[in-house]
Amino acid sequence: MKTPIPHSLKLFLTLAAWVGILAVTGCSNDSAAPSGQTVTGGDDYENMDFTLLNGGLTASNEAVAFDDKAFSDLLYNEDMEISDDPMLDDPEVMQMEAMVADSTDTNGVVRPRFTFVRLEWGMIHGPQDSLDRQIDCGALDWSGTVSMDRGILVATRLIRFELPFDQLVRPRINGQTLGFISHTYCHFDGLVLKIMERPDDLAEGLAPNVLHIRTGPYQGDFAVEELLGMNANFPVDGEGNSLHLVGYGPGDVHACPRGFLHGRWNLLLDLNGDDIAPPDTTLAVQYGTFGGPWYGLDGLIHGFMRCGYGLDVDGNQVFHGKRIGRLGRFVAFLRGTWSAGDDGISLTGFDGEWTSAVGGREGVLGAQAYPFPDYPGGFYDGRWTTLCGSADEGQVN
């Protein structure tokens, strides 16, 4: 059995690595394109040609975070989202982590089951500065608890918590209950959660294990089995506040890399500032762009993606894009199909795959997209997985 690394040592190594990364990253170019997205120094993502292979994109490296200030800020602030959940260093948690990581003994060993959840609440939007409202949104108190009937619940990452005003409640009542203090204004907060179920928690005859969410604006209960493949948004008022939940798991999380997607989508505008209307004839046309960070299940940024979406010459709703690593290195081409809103051009979701530079299929990705009030665009949340089997791919699509 492998010896797990204590969370305190992981924290030190993460901060040390960031000293070097930030030195390389430097300052970002703040110039913005008509859609509000920063112009990159590489391929053109706002003038793609869907008649060409990969939309005309090349397998070239890009600037760090596509030279996008909002994306770069996510990297810069990543160490502020490190979880201080004391359960991360709990001996039983570390033992369960080691059991799941040890794939060498396959002789009837019953291992714990992990389910992962990305939970967001507030005025949810992608990493886009221009989506910030210039009005007083008023504070909304989301403070509450997340708990489960059996097993251990761990907060692996914080999302946009403004410390020390937003924080996890310490000490914890028990391993099944996680308390937090959170207030949102024109932004959103959230948590990346890991549900850890012991083999005894999965015995036959037991009632379904349930995740309970209790906040001021929202209360909900979800069977852990229902979280697999869940991607749901729950509005709480008419001002744009909602709670969003994306679930993923179980499966061999070490042998099969997978994770979460979260980002923004933008409609492209014509010279008069109007949305591009659907063409009367079948032409290759680009309606918008979308992109954002490429997260692991632990909530850490693995890299970024950027795509353009529209119609090809046959009238198919297609997208093409590119995925890069944390420092801008080319990783893969992205391609697939997208779904439209009632206007025919707004993004409501996408499903696709990623390929190597030479075209080898390596994984799949998918997301649901939502509008942001009074803005030509919005946010998306989804999942990705390497090719590990139909069950894993089924949760993505």
Percent of the chain with pLDDT over 70: 79
Q: Round to whole Å and give the CA distance between 258 and 365.
A: 10
Percent of the chain with pLDDT over 90: 64
In a domain, 103, yes or no: no
Q: Round to whole Å and give the CA distance between 137 and 283.
A: 42
pLDDT digits (tens, 9 = 90+) for 272-283: 667 776 665 567
**E strand or H helix at 262:** strand 258-267
pLDDT digits (tens, 9 = 90+) for 224-252: 999 988 999 999 998 889 999 999 986 65
- Provide the token pair at 266: 């933008």
Residue 24 and residue 330 in contact, taking contact as beta carbons nearer than 8 Å: no
Do both 264 and 377 map to the same domain? yes
| CA-based radius of gyration for the chain | 21
C-alpha pair distances (Å), 23 with each of 14, 182, 292, 310, 392: 14, 32, 22, 38, 37
**The last residue of a domain, from among 200, 226, 256:** 256
Do both 297 and 230 map to the same domain? no
pLDDT score at 284: 86
In a domain, 311, yes or no: yes
Residue 394 and residue 251 in contact, taking contact as beta carbons nearer than 8 Å: no
Residue found under tokens 């059996």: 150
Do both 120 and 215 map to the same domain? yes
Out of 19-33, 86-100, 103-117, 143-157, the most confident range is 143-157
Do both 161 and 252 map to the same domain? yes
pLDDT score at 254: 64
Do both 267 and 244 map to the same domain? no
C-alpha pair distances (Å), 370 with each of 183, 233, 254: 22, 9, 31
What phi and psi values does residue 88 have, to the nearest 5 degrees?
Answer: -65, -30
Do both 119 and 243 map to the same domain? yes
Q: Round to whole Å and give the CA distance between 396 and 380.
A: 13
**The last residue of a domain, from among 256, 275, 310:** 256
Do both 270 and 363 map to the same domain? yes
In a domain, 80, yes or no: no
Which pTM does this prediction carry? 0.85
Interval 177-185 mean pLDDT: 96
pLDDT score at 394: 65
Q: How many domains does the chain have?
A: 2
In a domain, 88, yes or no: no
| The amino acid at 306 | R
Is residue 80 very low, low, confident or very high in pLDDT (cuts 50, 70, 90)?
very high
In a domain, 270, yes or no: yes
pLDDT score at 209: 96
Identify the DSSP state of 219: E
- Residue range of the domain that includes 274: 9-75+260-387
In a domain, 189, yes or no: yes
Do both 123 and 251 map to the same domain? yes
C-alpha pair distances (Å), 70 with each of 73, 79, 194, 263: 5, 16, 27, 11
What phi and psi values does residue 38 have, to the nearest 5 degrees?
Answer: -70, 140
pLDDT score at 38: 44
Do both 161 and 244 map to the same domain? yes
Do both 295 and 243 map to the same domain? no
Asked if the model's pLDDT at residue 14 lies above 50, the reply is no
Asked if the model's pLDDT at residue 345 lies above 70, the reply is yes
Identify the DSSP state of 252: -
Do both 119 and 252 map to the same domain? yes
Q: Cβ–Cβ contacts within 10 Å for residue 283, how many?
A: 14
Do both 284 and 312 map to the same domain? yes
In a domain, 299, yes or no: yes
In a domain, 198, yes or no: yes
258's CB contacts (< 8 A; 6+ apart) are: 248, 251, 297, 383, 384, 385, 386, 388, 392
**The last residue of a domain, from among 236, 256, 276:** 256
pLDDT digits (tens, 9 = 90+) for 95-137: 999 888 876 665 666 789 999 999 999 998 877 655 555 566 7
